[in-house]
Every structure is written in C-alpha cells, then in structure tokens.
C-alpha cells in the first residue's frame, strides 16, 4: 500500500515519488583502475541482510539523489541524507 521516505528537502513522502537505484556504498573507480575493480563496480552487488545504504532519487519531488539507509529485513528506514551534501560535508 505504501512505505514512506523522509526526504531531507521535502519531508515524508510515499515511495511512489521515488526511484531506487541501488547500492550507495560504491565508489566510482579511477579511469585507469584495474579491470577487476571496474568489473566489481559495474557488475557485482552485495545483497545484504540488515542495514543497507541505497541511492534513492526523489524523482517526482525535488529531484535530488538521496542516500537511504534501510533495513532489508524490517524495511525500517534509519537515515536519509542528500547524497551531494553528504559528500561535500553539507557545503555544496
């Protein structure tokens, strides 16, 4: 019926307003990184049981990319942060 994500910019919204992309723990490798590193980045994904950080896009809202920390067992959302602001330490 619904689950809710609290967007740091827009407040609590239902999942219908969002698009999920997946693991937010990945770091894009340097262009000259080993093929193995690129392979991991592009193709391999963990499927953890428990806490998991994922990219969610508030596609029908503010269109910001968020990092949602979610429990894959209980679906409980533990934290939501703006991805860019988190990376830049809050000073975009």
Partner 1 sequence: MPDLPTSKPALAGKAPLQGVQFAVEALPEGHLLQLMGPTTLDELRALFDTFGLGGSVIRAAGFRQWYVMGEAPLEPAALRGIAGALPRGVFLSDQSHGRVRIRVSGPRAAQVLARGTAVDLHGSQFPAGAAAMTLFGHIPVHLSRTGEAEFELTVLRSFAEALFGELEPFAA
Partner 2 sequence: MSSYRLSTGGQIDRARSIKFSFDGKALTGHPGDTLASALLANGIQLVGRSFKYHRPRGILTAGAAEPNALVTTGTGGRTEANTRATMIELHDELNARSQNRWPSLAFDIGAVNGLLSPFLSAGFYYKTFMWPAGFWEKVYEPLIRKAAGLGKASYEADPDSYEKCWAHCDLLVIGAGPAGLAAALTAGRAGARVLLADEGFAFGGSLLTDGDARLSAMLAEFEALPNVQCLPRTTVIGWYDDNVFGAVERVQKHVAEPDPRQPVERLWRIIAKQAILASGAEERPLVFGGNDIPGVMMAGAMRSYLNRQAVAPGKRVAVFTTNNAGYRTAADLEAAGIEVAAIVDPRSEGEPGWNGKAKVLTNSCIVDALGGKAVSGVSIAGASGVQRLEADAVAMSGGWSPVIHLACHRGAKPVWSDTHAAFLAPERQEGLLLAGSAAGLWSIEACLNDGARKAAEALEAIGFAKVEPAFAEGDTAQRAATPFWFAKGSKGKAFVDYQNDVNLKDLGLAVREGYGDVELAKRYTTNGMATDQGKLSNINAIGILAEARGVSPAEVGTTTFRPFYTPVSFGALTGVSRGKHFQPVRKSPLHDWASKNGATFVETGLWYRAAWFPRAGETTWRDSVDREVLNIRQNAGLCDVSTLGKIEIFGKDAATFLDRVYCNGFAKLAVGKARYGIMLREDGMIYDDGTTSRFSDDHFFMTTTTALAAGVLTHLEFCAQTLWPELQVHFASSTDQWAQMAVAGPKSRAILSEIVEEDISDLAFPFMSARTVSLFGGKLEGRLFRISFSGELAYELGVPAGYGEYVADAIMQAGQKHGICAYGAEALGVMRIEKGHVTHAEINGTVTPGDLGCGRMVSATKPDFIGKAMLAREGMQAPDRPRLVGVKPLDPKARFRTGSHILSDGAAATLENDQGYVTSSCFSPNLGHTIGLALIKNGPERIGEKVMIWNGLRNEFTDGVICSPVFIDPENEKLHA
Beta bridge pairs of residue 55: 22, 67
> Shortest distance, CB of residue 42 to partner 2, whole angstroms?
5
| Number of residues forming the site for partner 1 (CB under 8 A) | 16
Among 12, 46, 47, 49, binds partner 2 (CB under 8 A): 12
> Shortest distance, CB of residue 82 to partner 1, whole angstroms?
7
Q: Which residues lie near partner 1 (CB under 8 A)?
A: 2, 9-14, 16-17, 60-64, 82, 92
């Amino acid at each position: 019926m619904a689950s809710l994500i609290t967007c740091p910019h827009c407040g609590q919204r239902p999942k219908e307003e969002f698009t999920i992309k997946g693991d937010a723990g990945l770091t894009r490798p340097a262009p000259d990184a080993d093929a193995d590193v690129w392979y991991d980045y592009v193709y391999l994904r963990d499927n953890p049981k428990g806490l998991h950080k994922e990219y969610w896009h508030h596609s029908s809202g503010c269109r910001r990319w968020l990092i949602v920390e979610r429990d894959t067992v209980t679906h409980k959302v533990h934290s939501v942060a703006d991805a860019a602001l988190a990376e830049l330490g809050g000073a975009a």
